[in-house]
A and B are shown apart, each in its own frame.
Chain A
């Protein structure tokens, strides 16, 4: 599968990501980034462990 179409935060240049988060979320940036990182880690871990396949195989909405 190609579910890594969007790079998780860990694979982005860390400093740029932090600066972007600061610009978007201001003083709450660290909190939001923490929640997002945890969620992306869960998603990545589940995908590594369970090896899910896309359903349906062909996108419904092209």
Chain B
């Protein structure tokens, strides 16, 4: 799939040469990915501030992300024009988001 090819160029090209390098890369990738997935889980149901393109800042309760990090599903989105009860934010529109523990 395209996602796999985008993710895995180094492993693909070196797959025959060195199994140990692959294993090390897989271990690092797993650890980094698991930490990220745990971050998203921690963000669930938190009030999150989204800092978006065009200097747009909005707040909402975080619901979930798709696994490819393309869309964030949120509730109670406080837009400049009022509250949108349920919304999807395009991750391409988002520069950063933050929350307190």
Contacts and interface: CB of A to CB of B under 8 A. Distances in A.
Interface in B44-101: 52-54, 56, 58, 63-68, 70-71, 73-75, 77, 79, 84, 86-90, 92-93
A6 B79 CA distance: 26
Contacts of A5: 70
**Size band of the B side of the interface?**
35 or more
B50 to A, nearest CB: 10
**Main SS of chain A's interface residues?**
helix
Contacts of B90: 54, 59-61
Contacts of B15: 23
B57 to A, nearest CB: 12
Given A26-B30, A28-B27, A55 B8 contact: no
Contact of B26 (A28, A35, A50, A53): A28
A54 B87 contact: yes
A32 B46 CA distance: 23
A6 B92 CA distance: 14
B29 to A, nearest CB: 6
Given A26-B26, A47-B88, A51-B86, A59 B93 contact: yes
